Structure 1
Amino acid sequence: MKHLDGNVLAGPAADLFAFEATTALGRCGACGDVAALAQARVYGPPMGYVARCRSCDGVLLVIVEHEGRATLTMRGLRWVRVDA
């Protein structure tokens, strides 16, 4: 399956965050790589969005939209840093 880049998360993440999610930095929980979420490899839609680490392909986050609700899992990120 061909992946997209993390910029595709701008729309779905805008409903979940009060900041521009694609510019946020995150540390991969699997390999420790630090990068902007825009650099993630993203798979989806229509089932949702799965963002994978650019370095090790570990799952960073998952966004699923269904029946007017959004579910976000960020289990693969050690931390996320945004500009204040």
Structure 2
Amino acid sequence: MSEPADTQRCELCQVAIEARTGLPDVVQFSNGPTGSRSKLWSRVCQFVTDPDRQQLCINRDGGQSDLAQPGDAYPDAPTIELPKG
């Protein structure tokens, strides 16, 4: 099945980003529900540190075109108290 002409696929992470006129873009992750460019940045793009790979990223604005929403980033893991032995 082909993607609509207004959909881009990232060579690095293989997400599809559908551009919607007048609405926020929609990101289709490989697994789970759709999200925003800011969610993609929070969970994937910010961790690409190699400059050559950064040039391939189609979300280089850091999701700034979308406002960050609660739940974009993964929550911090809770602190676990280990028994002293």
TM-score, normalisation: structure 2: 0.31
Larger radius of gyration: 2
- Greater strand proportion: 1
TM-score, normalisation: structure 1: 0.31
Where relative contact order (Cα < 8 A, 6+ residues apart) is larger, the structure is: 1
